Amino acid sequence: MEDFLPGLVGELRKCACLPYYIRENEKRYLSYKLHQPSLSWEEVITFVNIGLDRPFYTDVCQITSPNQLTVLINKYRRLPRDFIPGDLEPIDDQCSEGQMLLRHQARIAFEVMCCDARKQGIELKAISSFRSYVYQQQVYYRKWTEGMDIDQYQAERDRVSARPGHSEHQTGLTVDINDLEQTFENTVEGRWLAANSYCYGFILRYPKGKEHITGYDYEPWHFRYLGKKLSQLVYRSGLTYDEFYTRYLEILM
């Protein structure tokens, strides 16, 4: 700690009462603050706890309770290779393009949301939901061709696709709806989802302007089921789920 300016250390220590303050991370908090002086201390502490002071996909931990409804998957947290939820169910044909699977609770909530939307003239269809580890491996390497530089491939692919084990779709709690284009946000369906999905238990997982936190481009079509209570809290907080989980849920685990 003596390597850091005493004033900075003093400022940080004032935050030691925050429930998500981790004493072992103090040096990382200080050096991140030095590199990112415009961030508030709360942001510094949250971001370091997420792992954002280190490049994506470093110090990855394997999740031990993948069935939890609150499970956080990101570029620092991976699901076991063989994890497949036990309660996957097919989504009703009227609400999906082809056969799609979601976990029981998410499936019911999604169908209720589609049904309510339809009554308002809004047509919602799942176009991708549960994806296994092996399937995600195919998705991630889909654009790979022989002779490509792997580092360059990953740098470009990581913005739009999760590496196997790191896809939220493997939880069975995530659904892509209608259209995989960012222009989806300007459609009536995209606007309806952004404004109403949290009432049904879904959050927009990769918001615009939060790419540096989530590690993904804005995805107005990608929704994660958290249950009504939690989705409302996350929605009202204005935080990404990565931040919300780190501040309020991880400390309870």
Strand partners, 126: 96, 177
- The rounded distance, in Å, linking the Cα atoms of 218 and 129 is 18
Q: DSSP 3-state assignment of 246?
A: helix
Which residue shows structure tokens 């790419």?
211
Instruction: By CB under 5 A, name the one of 222, 230, 231, 245 that touches Zn ion.
Output: 222
By the rule CB under 5 A, 53 interacts with Zn ion = no
Name which of 46 and 167 has its Cβ closer to Zn ion.
167
Count Cβ atoms within 10 A of the Cβ of residue 187 and give its class: 0-12 exposed, 13-18 middle, 19 or more buried. Answer: middle
Q: Is 219 a catalytic residue?
A: yes
Taking contact as CB under 5 A, which single stretch among the options 36-44, 194-202, 209-217, 218-226 is the one that binds Zn ion? 218-226
Count of residues of this chain found to bind Zn ion when the rule CB under 5 A is applied: 2
If one asks whether residue 176 binds Zn ion (CB under 5 A), the answer comes out as: yes
Q: For the segment 56-85, give every residue that binds Zn ion (CB under 5 A).
A: none
What is the closest distance, in whole angstroms, from the C-beta atom of residue 226 to Zn ion in the complex?
15
Instruction: Tell me how far apart the alpha carbons of residues 144 and 153 are, in angstroms, rounded to a whole number.
Output: 7
Q: How far is the CB of 94 from Zn ion (least distance, A)?
A: 21
DSSP states along 85-134: -TTEEEPPGGGBSS--EEEHHHHHHHHHHHHHHHHTT----EEE----HH
CB of 136: closest distance to Zn ion in angstroms? 10
Closest CB 162 distance from Zn ion, rounded Å: 8
Distance of CA 11 to the CA centre of its chain: 31
Q: Which is nearer to Zn ion, 184 or 235 (CB)?
A: 184
Residue closer to Zn ion, measured from CB, 107 or 222: 222
Contacts to Zn ion by CB under 5 A: 176, 222
Catalytic residues: 219
